[in-house]
Chains A and B, each alone.
Chain A
Amino acid sequence: MSGAGPAPRPLRDRLLEAVLVLVLLGLLVAARRLFPSLGAGAGTIASVGILLLGGTVVANLLELVGLPHLTGYLLAGVAAGPYLLNLVDHRAVEELTPVNALALSLIALAGGAELRLASLRTGLRSLGWATLWQNVLVMVVLAGVFVAARPLLPFLRGVPTLAVVGVALVWGVMAVTRSPSAVLGILSQTRAKGPLASFTLNFVMTSDVVVVVLLAMALTLARPLVLPGSELSLSAVKELGVEVLGSISVGTTIGLFLAAYLRLVKAGLVVMLIALGLVFTEVFDYLHFDWLLIFMTAGFVVQNLSKQGERFVEAIDSMGEIVYVIFFGVAGAHLDLGVLRTLWPVALLFAGARGITTFVAGHVASRYAGDPPALRRWGWAGLVSQAGLALGIANTISQEFPAFGAGLGALAVAAVAMNEMVGPVLFKVALDRSGETRGEAEEVEPAEGAAVFDP
C-alpha cells in the first residue's frame, strides 16, 4: 500500500473487522443449524450477499499484509463456496453464471474504455515486442512442458504422441491467455498510473484478439493430429474471420450508440449498461460472436471516437468494486478444491513453468523494445493472472477432444486457480514497487449530495 491515500486505519478497527468476519460466519452457520429449511446453501440471492459482504470484509483485512482486494474476494468465495462452508452451494454457483457474464461484460467495457489511442501509439514498440515474445515463447514452452510431463498425466496414457502434440498446442494457447479482469481490478483499486500500468492494460486488452486468432489456428492444426480421420480444414479460419470482424463491427455500433446516449440523454447510464449487458451477452452467445471483444470494442469506441470517454469511465468506475467482488467471489466459489488437492503437484509444475517463461519473455521483450527500467523489471508481473478466458479455452479443449475429458479440464482448472491466486498479488507488488500506486480509490468520499449508488 502506498501513495497519497489517507492515513491507514487504526489496528483496532482492523481487529474489529476480523472479529466481525468471525461473528458473521458464526451467524450464518448458526442460522443454517437453527433453520433446517434453509437446506445446504443459502440460496442464490443470499449467496450474492454473502460474496459481497464476505469479500468486502476479507479484502479490507488483507490490506493489513498488502494483499490486493481481489485476493480477498477470491478467498471469500473459496471459503463460502461449495468445497468449504457450502454457504454458496453448487446450484447457486451455477445460477450465478449469468450474473458473472454480466460482470465480465462490464469489465470488458471498462477495459476498452481505458485503452487510449495515444497511449497505444506511445507504447506500440513495447506492446509489439511483448506480444511477440510473450505469446510465442509461452505457447511453445508450455506446449513442450505438456508433452514432457506426459508420464505424469494419467489421461494421456496410451495416447499417440502426435495426438499429445496436438493437445499440447491448444494447451499452449491456453497458457497465453491473461486476465483483463484481474488487471483492471488491481488498477481500479490502486489507481496506478505510469508506464507499467499502461503497458499491462494495453497488453491484456489486446491479447484477447491475439488469443482468439491463436486458438483458431491451433485448433485447425490440432484436429488432424488428435482426431483420426480428420483433415486439415481452414473452416476455423473462416469462422474466425466472421467472429472477429463481426464482433468488432457490432462493438463499434454499440459504442457509437452509447456515445450518442451519453451525449443526448446523459442520465441513467448504469441502468442502461446493466440492461445492455443482460440482453446482449445472451444474444451474442446465440450469434456466436465474441461478446468480450464486442464490449471491449464498444468501450474503446466511446473513449477514442467520441468526447464522452471520461464520463463513461466514471459511470463504469462507480460500479467497479461491486462488479469485481461478484466476479472474483464467484470465481473463488467455482474453485474446485478437491481437484486442486489431487493435482497440485502437476498444476504447480505448469503454473511455475508459465511464470518463469513469462518472466523470461518479459525481460527479452523489454530489451528488444528498449523499455524504461520499471517496465524492464516488472513488465511481466501483470501477465501472470489467468481467469475465465483460460477456463473457457479449457472447456473448448474438452468439447473438441472429448477423449481427454474431465482429466484435462480438471488440470486446467487447477493450473488456472494457482495463477488466479498468485497473479493479482504479483501485479500489485510490481505496481507498489515501481511507485505507480496512487492510493486507494475507495477512500475518495463522494461529493456532498451525490447518492452513493448513483454516478
Chain B
Amino acid sequence: MTGLAVLGLLLVGSYLGGFLFGAGGRKARGLASGAGGVVLGFVCGPAVLALLSAETLDLFSPLIQVGVGWLAMNTGLVYGRVLGRPVRVEDALWGIGAALLTLAGVAGAVWLALTSLPLFRAIGLAPAERWALALGLGAALAETTRSVARWARDRCQARGPLFDRIFNLAAADDLVPVVASAVAFALVPLSTSAGTLSVAAGAAAQLGVGFVLGVVGALTLGRDFRVNVFRGTLLGVSLIAIGFAVRLRLSLVAVPFALGLGLVAVSRHRARIRRAVSAERYVVLPILFLAGAMTPAAGIVPWLAAVAVGARLVSKLVAGLGLWAAWPEARPAGPLLGAGLTSSGTLSLAVGLSFALRFPGLVGATVLTAATLAMVLGELLGPPSLRSVLRRAGEVPAATAETPAVGTAEAAS
C-alpha cells in the first residue's frame, strides 16, 4: 500500500477521531480536545505501540508540510484580530513582550543546561546546532494559544476587561514564534545567485517572500468575488509558498504566516478569506495525530524537552507577575495570572513539526517533543488556571469544567 493510501486511512481515522475529540463528541461524551489527538498519536507511534513505524511516518512528510504551512497561513490571516475586531496596540505589545520573555527564558535555560549540566554537555552539539535548538525551543514554547481564551468565553461565559486583554494578548503573541522560527532557519545560510544571505537577511527574506506572494494572491483575487478564483488562488498561492519553503529549506511557519498577512493586508475579500480558515479543521486532526506519533520517548530528548517546558512555566509565571503589576484590571486576579497563560496550541505544534522536518535528529526531535509536552501539560494546567484567574477578577459568573477545542477555526494560535 502506498503512502497515499495510508494517508487516506489516516484521514478516515482522524475524521472518525474527530467525533471523539471534536466539538460534537466533547459535548456528548466529555472527552478532552486536541491534546487527545496528540496522545493518541503518541500511543500509536513508534514510541509506544509501534502501530506506525518511523518509515511509515516518513511517508507523511508532504502532508505534514502542507498541514503545517496551512495552519501557519491561517495564523497570519487572523493575526492581530479577535472576534472580528483588531486587538488593541497596547495589549498586542504586552503579548509580544510576554512571548519574548518566555522565548528568552526557555532559550536561556536550555543554553545553560547544554553548557553547564554534564548530562546535556555530553551531547556535544556544535554552536550552530545549539543556537538552533535554543531558538527552536523558545519559538515553540513562546505563545499562549488563543483557543484557551475562546474556551473561557464559550464555556465559562467569561466577559470583562481582563478577559479582553488576555484574549488580545493571546492573539498578538504569535509574531514571536514566527520571527524566531525564521531566524532559527536562517542560521543555516541561504545561498542565492547573488551570494549567501546573512542571518538577518535570510530571516527577512523568508517573511518578504511570503508577503509578496500574499500580495500577488490578493491582487489575483481581484475586485469581484468569484468562488472558483477564490479557491484556486488561495490554495494555489499557499501551496506555492509551502512548496518553495520546503524546496529552499525555509521556515514552514514564517513563509506561510507572512503570506497570510500579505493576503489580508491587500485583498478587499479579507473577511471571506478569514472565513475560509474553518477548513483548517480537516488539517488539524491529522497534524495533531502525526505530531504525537513522531514524538520520541527515549534517550536524552525527553529530559531536554522537560527542561524547556519547565522554563516555559516559570517564564509564563514571571510574565503573569508583570501583567499583574502593570494592568489595573489584573489586580483582583492575583499574582498567579501567568498560570492561565500556559496553554499552547497548534502554532506550537507547527513550529515543532517544522523543526522536526528541517533538523532531523536531536534538535528537531527535542523541539517537537517540547511542543507536544507543552500542549498536553498546558491543556491540563491552563484552562482551570485561567478560569480561576478570571473568577477571582469577577469575570466568570459560574463554574464550568471543560477543556479547550484546539481543532477548531481560529485555533491556530
Q: Does A134 interact with chain B (Cβ within 8 Å)?
A: no
Q: Is B86 an interface residue (CB 8 A)?
A: no
Interface residue from A46, A56, A268 paired with B244 (Cβ < 8 Å): A46
B231 proximity list for chain A (CB < 8 A):
321-322, 452-453
Cβ-defined contact, B248 with A38, below 8 A: yes
Instruction: Tell me if A39 and B216 are in contact (CB < 8 A).
Output: no
Among candidates A20, A45, A46, A98, residue contacting B219 with C-beta atoms closer than 8 Å: A20
Q: Which of A53, A102, A272, A321 contacts B240 (CB 8 A)?
A: A53
Q: Are A49 and B247 in contact (CB under 8 A)?
A: no
CB distance from B357 to the nearest CB of A (A): 12
Chain A residues, CB < 8 A from B219: 16, 20
Contact at B279–A321, with CB atoms within 8 Å? Answer: no
- Quick check: is B15 within 8 A (CB to CB) of the other chain? yes
* B118, chain A: closest CB distance, angstroms: 39
Which residues 244-280 of A have a CB within 8 angstroms of B? 268, 270-272, 274-279
Report B29-54 residues with CB < 8 Å from chain A CB.
Answer: none
Q: Please tell me if the beta carbons of A442 and B5 are within 8 angstroms of each other in the complex.
A: no
**Given A44-B243, A56-B233, A442-B229, A279-B8 contact (CB < 8 Å):** yes
Cross-chain contact of A53 among B62, B220, B227, B272 (Cβ < 8 A): B220
C-alpha gap A46/B12 in the complex (Å): 25
Among A53, A277, A279, chain B packs the most CB atoms within 10 A around the CB of A53
Give B12's nearest chain A residue, CB to CB. A275
B residues in contact with A102, CB < 8 Å: 4
Chain A's nearest CB lies how many Å from the CB of B38?
Answer: 20
Interface pair A278/B8, CB less than 8 Å apart: yes
- The answer to whether A98 and B276 touch (CB under 8 A), given A20-B220, A452-B230, is no
**Interface code B215-228, partner A: CB below 8 Å = 1, 0 otherwise?**
01101101111111
- Interface flags, A51-87, vs B, CB<8A=1, else 0: 1111111011000000001000000000000000000
CB of B79, distance to nearest CB on chain A (Å): 19
Cβ of B392 within 8 Å of any chain A Cβ, yes or no, is no
A98: chain B residues at CB < 8 Å are 2, 4
Least Cβ–Cβ distance between A215 and chain B, in angstroms: 26
Select A52's contact among B4, B224, B232, beta carbons within 8 Å: B232
| Most B-side CB within 10 Å, residue of A9, A24, A98, A445 | A24
Cβ distance A314 to chain B, nearest Cβ, rounded Å: 13
What is the CB-to-nearest-CB distance from A184 to chain B, in angstroms, rounded to a whole number? 15
Tell me whether A17 and B237 are in contact in the complex, defined as CB-CB below 8 angstroms, given that A38-B248, A453-B279 are known contacts.
no
Task: Using CB atoms, name the residue of chain B closest to A102.
Answer: B4
B interface residues, how many (CB within 8 angstroms): 59
A45 to B243, Cβ gap below 8 A?
A: yes
Is there contact, CB below 8 Å, between A46 and B225? Answer: no
CB-CB nearest in chain A for B279: A453
Kindly state the separation between the CA atoms of A305 and B243 in the bound complex, as whole angstroms.
43
- Bitwise, A164-208 to B at CB < 8 A (1) or not (0) is 000000000000000000000000000000000000000000000
A4 contacts chain B at the CB level, 8 A cutoff:
no
CA distance A179 to B232 in the complex (A): 23
Listed stretches B108-116, B132-140, B188-196, B299-307; interface member? B188-196
When distances are taken between beta carbons in the complex, the residues of chain B under 8 Å from A441 are 228
B226 and A443: CB pair below 8 A?
Answer: yes
User: Is there an interface contact between B237 and A53, defined as CB atoms closer than 8 Å?
Assistant: yes
Cβ contact within 8 Å between A268 and B220:
no
Q: Which residues of B contact A43 (CB under 8 A)?
A: 243-244, 246-247
B275 within 8 A of A: yes
B65 at the interface (CB under 8 A from A): yes
The one of A17, A34, A53, A446 in contact with B222, judged by C-beta atoms closer than 8 angstroms, is A17
A347 within 8 Å of B (CB atoms): no
Q: Is B278 within 8 A of A454, CB to CB?
A: yes
A282 to B59 alpha-carbon distance, docked (Å): 16
Closest to A52 in B: B236
Task: Decide yes or no whether B9 CB sits under 8 A from chain A.
Answer: yes
Q: Is B369 an interface residue (CB 8 A)?
A: no
CB-based contact B227/A452 at 8 Å: yes
A193 to chain B minimum Cβ distance, whole angstroms, is 19
> Interface size on A (CB < 8 Å)?
64
Residues of B within 8 A of A283 (CB): 5
Q: Does B28 contact A (CB under 8 A)?
A: no
Q: Which A residues are CB-close (under 8 A) to B12?
A: 272, 275-276, 279
Is A444 engaged at the interface, CB distance under 8 Å to the other chain? yes
> B117 at the A/B interface (Cβ < 8 Å)?
no
Q: B7 near A: Cβ within 8 Å? A: yes
Which of chain A's residues have a CB closer than 8 A to the CB of B235?
Answer: 49, 52, 322
Minimum CB distance partner of A49 in chain B: B239
The yes or no answer to A36 lying at the interface (CB within 8 A) is yes
Closest chain A CB from B369 CB (angstroms) = 26
Nearest residue (CB) in A for B62 is A45
How far does the alpha carbon of A268 sit from the alpha carbon of B240 in the complex, in Å? Answer: 26
Shortest CB distance A108–B (Å): 16
Q: Restricting to A26-54, which residues have a CB under 8 Å from any CB of B? A: 27-28, 31, 33-39, 42-54
Q: Does A325 contact B (CB under 8 A)?
A: yes
B238 at the interface (CB under 8 A from A): yes
A278: B residues at CB distance < 8 A? 4-5, 7-8, 11
Given contact pairs A16-B222, A49-B239, A275 touches B232 in the complex (Cβ within 8 A): no
Within the assembled complex, what's the spacing in Å between the Cα atoms of A48 and B241?
11
Taken together as a complex, chains A and B put the C-alpha atoms of A28 and B243 apart, in Å, by: 12
Within 8 A of B (CB), among A287-305: none
A451 at the interface (CB under 8 A from B): yes
How far in angstroms is the closest Cβ of chain B from A98?
5
B152 within 8 A of A: no
CB distance from A358 to the nearest CB of B (A): 30
Contact pick for A56, options B7, B192, B236, B272, CB 8 Å: B236
User: In the bound complex, do residue B232 and residue A55 qualify as a contact, i.e. CB atoms below 8 Å apart?
Assistant: yes
Contacts of A35 in B (CB 8 A): 190-193, 248
Q: Is B263 an interface residue (CB 8 A)?
A: no
Q: A149 an interface residue at 8 Å Cβ cutoff?
A: no
Instruction: Let me know if B220 and A451 touch, CB within 8 A.
Output: no
Cα–Cα, bound, A54→B220 (Å): 10
Give the distance in Å from the alpha carbon of A274 to the alpha carbon of B213 in the complex. Answer: 28
Can you name the residue of chain A whose Cβ is closest to the Cβ of B225? A445
Which B residue sits closest to A38, measured CB to CB? B247
Measured between C-beta atoms, what is the minimum distance from B347 to chain A in Å? 20
Residue A23 at the chain B interface, CB threshold 8 Å: yes
Q: How far is the CB of A321 from chain B (nearest CB, A)?
A: 4
Residues of A within 8 A of B244 (CB): 31, 38, 42-43, 46
Report if B349 contacts A (CB, 8 A): no
Contacts of A55 on B, CB cut-off 8 Å?
232, 236
Does B1 interact with chain A (Cβ within 8 Å)? yes
Q: Are B9 and A275 in contact (CB under 8 A)?
A: yes
Which residues of A lie under 8 Å from residue B242 when comparing CB positions? 45-46, 49
B178-225, CB < 8 A from A: 190-194, 209, 212-213, 216-217, 219-220, 222-225
Q: Which residues on A sit within 8 Å (CB–CB) of B217?
A: 53
Q: Is the CB of B11 within 8 A of A271?
A: yes
- The residue in chain B whose Cβ has the minimal distance to the Cβ of A450 is B275
Contacts of B359 in A (CB 8 A): none
Known A-B contacts A282-B2, A442-B229; the reply to A45 vs B236 at CB < 8 A is no
Interface residues of A (CB under 8 A from B): 9, 13, 16-17, 20, 23-24, 27-28, 31, 33-39, 42-57, 59-60, 69, 98, 102, 268, 270-272, 274-279, 282-283, 321-322, 325, 440-446, 451-454
23 inter-chain pairs at a CB distance below 8 angstroms, sorted by A residue, are A27-B212, A28-B240, A35-B190, A37-B247, A37-B248, A45-B246, A46-B244, A46-B246, A49-B240, A49-B243, A50-B236, A51-B236, A53-B237, A56-B228, A56-B232, A271-B15, A275-B12, A279-B9, A321-B227, A440-B226, A444-B227, A451-B279, A452-B276
In the A-B complex, the 3 residue pairs with the smallest Cβ-Cβ separation, listed nearest first, are: A46-B243, A53-B236, A49-B239
